[in-house]
Amino acid sequence: MLPAFLLPLLALTNITASPLAAHSIAAPTWYAGWHATGGFPLSSVSWDKYNTLYYSFAETTQSVNSLSLSGSDGEMLPQFVSEAHAHGVEAHIAVGGWSGGTVVDFALQYKLDGIQFDWESPNDQGIGCNTISVHDTANFLAFLQELRQNPVAAKLTLSAASRLGRTAGMPVDKIVLGVASYGHSFSVPPCDAFVSDTKTLAAYPTFNASNQPLGDAWDNTGSVDVCGVYEGSGGTFNFWGLIDNGFLTKEGKPADGIHYRYDTCSQTPYVYNRTSQVMISFDNVQSFAAKGKYIKDTKLRGFSMWEAGGDYNDMLLDSIIDAFKCA
Ligand SMILES: *[C@@H]1O[C@H](CO)[C@@H](O)[C@H](O)[C@H]1NC(C)=O
Ligand SMILES: *[C@@H]1O[C@H](CO)[C@@H](O)[C@H](O)[C@H]1NC(C)=O
C-alpha cells in the first residue's frame, strides 16, 4: 500500500554516505520489503546513494506489546539492517504508532538506527475502519515526546511522514521533501485529452473516475482491504513500469506513438496512449531535477523517495542528487 505522503518530516539524520555527504543532503528512502521477491532484492539497492533506508512496513496489531512484519517479508529485516550498516547506511523501520516500550524493544532487537512513523492521517478516516479522535495529533506529539524520554529512543532518529500543511513550526532544515518514483493512471477519452483539433495534450483534462486503468506488474487488480471493503486497482506505474509498458523508452523519453506534455506549473510530465485512452501523470528526470533545485533553493534538509525499487537504473535518484552539485 503506497503512503500518500507529501512532506515527511525528519528529526535528525547522520550523513555518512557518498555522494550525498558531499552535498550534506539527507535522502531517507523507503524500501518495500514485499518487493524483494517482486524484482527488487536487497542486492539491487544502490546503497552508496542513500544515507538512510526505511524498511516498510511494521504494522500495529491488536496488542500494544507487539507489531507485525507479516506483510513485508519481515524475515529479511536482519539482513537488511546488516547490509545497510556494512554500507554505512542507517537502517530504520517504518511503522504506525504503537506503545513506546514496544518501539524501543523492537529497535534494540533489530539493531535499528531509527523509526519512521507512517501515520499520515491523524484524525482522518484513512482506509475506512480506523478509530479516530480529534485528539490524534496532540496524542501523537505526546507519544513522540514520551518516546524521546526513553534513554534508548533518545539515540534513535525519529521521523514522520506527514501531509503538506501550513505549518506547524517545523524548522526548514528538519524537513525533507517527499518525492515519488511512481505515477498514476487515468482514463481520458481523446476528445478531452487534446486541445481541440491539435495533437497537444490538454492541461488538467477531466477523466473517468469509475474506470481506473490497471498499473504495472506491482499494481494489484483489486482486493478486499482490512476493513472488508473491495478496492479496485491502484493505477500505479513505477518509473520502470512506464518503460516496461511502452510509455517511455529506456532513456526515459516518451516512446514513439505516445503523446507527452511537461506541465510547467506543477513541473511534472504526463503521457498519453490514444488507443488505450490511458493518461499517466508521473515524475521523470526533468521533474526530479526541478525538485532537487527547489530543495536546494529553499534549504530543505533533503528528499525522501517512495520507493527505492520504483526507479530505473537510478535515473531519478541520480537526477535529484545532481541538482545539488555546484553550478
Ligand atoms: C466510465 O467508465 C465506466 C466503466 O468502464 C463506463 O461504464 C462508463 O460508460 C464510462 N463513462 C464515460 C462517460 O465514458
Ligand atoms: C497503446 O495502447 C495499445 C492498446 O493497449 C497498445 O496496443 C499499444 O502498443 C500502445 N502504444 C504504445 C506506443 O505503447
**pLDDT tens digit sequence for 122-158:** 777 677 777 788 888 899 899 899 999 999 999 999 9
The residue whose C-alpha atom lies closest to atom 8 belonging to ligand 2 is 275
CA nearest to 105, candidates 141, 139, 71, 156: 156
- Choose the residue to mutate in 191, 192, 206, 208 for probing ligand 1, maximizing ligand atoms within 8 Å of C-beta: 208
Given the CA of residue 274, which atom of ligand 2 is nearest to it? 1
- pTM (predicted TM-score): 0.87
**What integer is the mean pLDDT of 172-186?**
96
Least distant ligand from the CA of 256? 2
Least distant ligand from the CA of 272? 2
**pLDDT tens digit sequence for 108-123:** 999 999 999 987 777 7
Q: Is the pLDDT of residue 17 over 50?
A: no
What is the pLDDT at residue 18? 55
What is the pLDDT at residue 226? 76
**pLDDT tens digit sequence for 26-71:** 889 999 999 999 999 999 999 999 999 999 888 877 787 787 888 7
Burial class (CB in 10 A: 0-12, 13-18, 19+), 86: exposed
The residue whose C-alpha atom lies closest to atom 2 belonging to ligand 1 is 211
DSSP letter string, 75-128: GGHHHHHHHHHHTT-EEEEEE----HHHHHHHHHHTT-SEEEE----TTS-TTT
3-state secondary structure of 319: helix
CA of 273 to the centre of ligand 2 (A): 6
Least distant ligand from the CA of 278? 2
**pLDDT tens digit sequence for 269-327:** 999 999 999 999 999 999 999 999 999 999 999 999 999 999 999 999 999 999 988 65
CA of 306 to the centre of ligand 2 (A): 27
Which three cell numbers mark 197?
Answer: 483539433
**pLDDT tens digit sequence for 94-109:** 986 334 457 888 999 9
**pLDDT tens digit sequence for 186-200:** 999 999 999 999 999
Q: Is the pLDDT of residue 72 over 50?
A: yes
Is 319's C-beta closer than 6 angstroms to any atom of ligand 2? no
Given the CA of residue 245, which atom of ligand 2 is nearest to it? 14
Is 274's C-beta closer than 6 angstroms to any atom of ligand 2? no
CA nearest to 48, candidates 12, 77, 22: 22
What is the pLDDT at residue 67? 79
Show the ligand 1 pocket: residues with CB < 6 angstroms. Answer: 208, 210-211
**pLDDT tens digit sequence for 235-248:** 999 999 999 999 99
